[in-house]
């Protein structure tokens, strides 16, 4: 049983290297999917706002990783 658990963890790490980044992006996608259609449904700003949110999450994650590795 222990071998199966280790295998599944390693398999998960193949697809998700940084769990906090993955969780943040999933939450952003869900939040944007719920909010953007209500406020910017017919606007041309929906896609840029979504992309900007993803980029901001990535930049924050990189900054946190750099700060963690410098210590």
Orientation of helix 19-39 relative to helix 46-70, angle to 10°:
160
pLDDT at site 1: 83
pLDDT at site 45: 82
pLDDT in tens, 23-69: 899 999 999 989 888 876 677 888 898 999 999 999 999 999 888 88
pTM passes above 0.85 = no
Q: Among the residues of 1-71, which ranges form H helices?
A: 2-15, 19-39, 46-70
Q: How confident is the model at residue 10 (pLDDT cuts 50, 70, 90)?
A: confident
């Amino acid at each position: 049983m222990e071998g199966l658990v280790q295998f599944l963890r390693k398999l998960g790490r193949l697809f998700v290297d940084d769990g906090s980044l993955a969780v943040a992006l999933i939450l952003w996608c869900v939040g944007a999917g719920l909010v953007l259609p209500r406020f910017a449904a017919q606007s041309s700003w929906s896609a840029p706002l979504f992309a900007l949110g993803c980029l901001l999450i990535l930049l924050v994650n990189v900054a946190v990783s750099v700060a963690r590795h410098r210590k």
